[in-house]
Structure 1
């Protein structure tokens, strides 16, 4: 049976229940609860020190939690040694054996499990073809590019048909063009094989473009776990609102009846189950209004001023100082930005759509 003939698997169900892990006085995981559906690709995303790598190491068996359970298809695997878990991990640093060929690296785990030589060779060849390296089996790691080495590492992880695939920032050592190509390949393989995958990254673009859902962590806790679209458009906490993408915080005033006045416009307030510290629909008071750069419309002439521009292909980002001193960012079509050079006086208005609020905080700019 070839790799592509392998019956489609639904993947394993994974649950993290009350995981806690401390290193001295430093708390890495603070009661982490998380569910991963069978066959899902879940990204763990957050700032340095948020606990995402510790969580992955607990899943792999390299760290033992102080408390909590890791349930794989209902079985708690915390007591199971790393080498006996039905999991596989791909590391940032490739971790290939330099004295082994690509094929022998892929087949290494099979050799440790006493699989016959002929079957090992066939399996390695199939997997190298699957990851786009057919004909490279006799090359040593130093004869391969970084992207090719990471493909070998991925093939090696898949060789044992694990129920759970763990990816520890596997693309961070690669250049930008190779990263884009390889993340598309990883996603294609993950979907094709139906394997449950947990992917740690510090790169928001990778997380939002690859994952079915993204778990945003902060201080060892889960801030929000949702689809990329929901995270971006409906952040559940102030931290997520500022961490995912770019968010402007503009002073406004809640005027009651679920409306807020901001930048000369009156807009409806979107209340997310009181998850953000939002003034209630019937409340009033000073607030910060959360506005994405693409939600601001900029026209020449007015009391705001452009202070900088940056080119982003079809769009350009303008940095603008509002009359009250608030610094905001606005994304406009590049052709429209040609006349909005630094020093140009402009008007800034929000698009007519619901907005999120954060109550009574000092005015800031873009996060």
Structure 2
């Protein structure tokens, strides 16, 4: 009930828009991979190519080494859950789940029993006789998930299935989806533009941009060691600090830090720093000032003013009481390799700081 999925040089063009531009990606059996990226990056098109709803202009989709590019959608052994639920309004939950089994002419007793098992699996055994309009959004999405699993597909495809739900339900259901995926061991491809969603539940996160793969790796690797400036910007929040390159190191905020990856040819660069890598200490003679503090649960995000601009810093919640607006502070960066990019005049002003401002 699990399979390897491979995108091999996948290209798909709609008019003048290139949705996929030579996408190469391999998803191992039983893995949960999130396709992450901004609108228009090609993630849903890639998913639809696996499902058989889109046919690439070139390249191939392989499942366990078999080219299924030209196989009809109903022969692909893939289950898909859509953003819009797509339940039949005239069928109750049990019959919605059993619909695919009915199409395959599975005996009534067998399909009712299977539907009951799946509703139990998604936590809705008491809702079997309810119609879609009698279910909440989260419950409808659970029914849609059970329906996708009814035919025991080798690949489960999830196209932003949580985007229409409120925040609390989203968190609960994404954890439920992950639990089911681990229990069943099914290869799963999850499309989302929500970085928190991708990082919290996927085995690997594939970041797409303009139809190409920018990086694919475990969530911690994508976050902590982004392969490109685009990944660094898209996954999480980044400060842009002006730096000066010397050899394989860069001077930023008066500190000399190693460069992560190859050093650029330009001497003046943007240094990309996560807010949690900015260390803040109250000091009467500090050259930075706290402008604002935003509560974020376990941490507080500070907006700091330095001589050349502003910078964001995340500090533990218990330290925030002594770092209120107006507090003078010193700023240091965590000693670790940093990602740099060629300096641009269009770098976001609120997060751009001159190299000599300490």
Shared fold per TM-score greater than 0.5: yes
1:49 to 15, 33, 40: 40
1:264 to 235, 254, 260: 254
Structure 1, gaps ≥5 residues long:
1-8
Instruction: Please list the CA deviations of residues 126-156 of structure 1 after superposition, one character each: whole Å capped at 9, or x if unmatched.
Output: 0110111112211111111111111110000
1:298 to 255, 268, 280: 280
Secondary structure in structure 1 of the residue aligned to 2:332: strand
Secondary structure in structure 2 of the residue aligned to 1:28: strand
Aligned equivalents of 1:268, 1:25: Cα separation in 2: 42
* C-alpha RMSD of the superposition: 1.6
TM-score (norm 2): 0.93
1:286 aligned onto 2:271: no
TM-score (norm 1): 0.91
Deviation at 1:247, TM superposition (A): 1.1
1:340 to 296, 317, 323: 323
- Structure-2 residue corresponding to 1:323: 307
Moved beyond 3 Å, runs of 4+? 359-367
Structure 2, gaps ≥5 residues long:
353-358
Instruction: Please list the CA deviations of residues 190-233 of structure 1 after superposition, one character each: whole Å capped at 9, or x if unmatched.
Output: 11111111100111111001111111011111111111011011
| Residues 89, 166 of structure 1: 8 Å contact kept | yes
1:308 aligned onto 2:308: no
| Residues 246, 366 of structure 1: 8 Å contact kept | no
Aligned equivalents of 1:199, 1:28: Cα separation in 2: 18
Matches within 5 A, 1:1-367: 9=1, 11-256=2-247, 258-271=248-261, 274=262, 278-279=263-264, 285-301=267-283, 302-325=286-309, 327-362=310-345, 364=348, 365-366=350-351
| Residues 271, 338 of structure 2: 8 Å contact kept | yes
| Residues 51, 220 of structure 1: 8 Å contact kept | yes
Deviation at 1:341, TM superposition (A): 2.6
Secondary structure in structure 1 of the residue aligned to 2:322: coil
How many pairs align? 348
Aligned equivalents of 2:298, 2:202: Cα separation in 1: 25
Instruction: Please list the CA deviations of residues 304-323 of structure 1 after superposition, one character each: whole Å capped at 9, or x if unmatched.
Output: 22222210012100111221
Aligned equivalents of 2:181, 2:315: Cα separation in 1: 36
Aligned equivalents of 1:108, 1:247: Cα separation in 2: 47
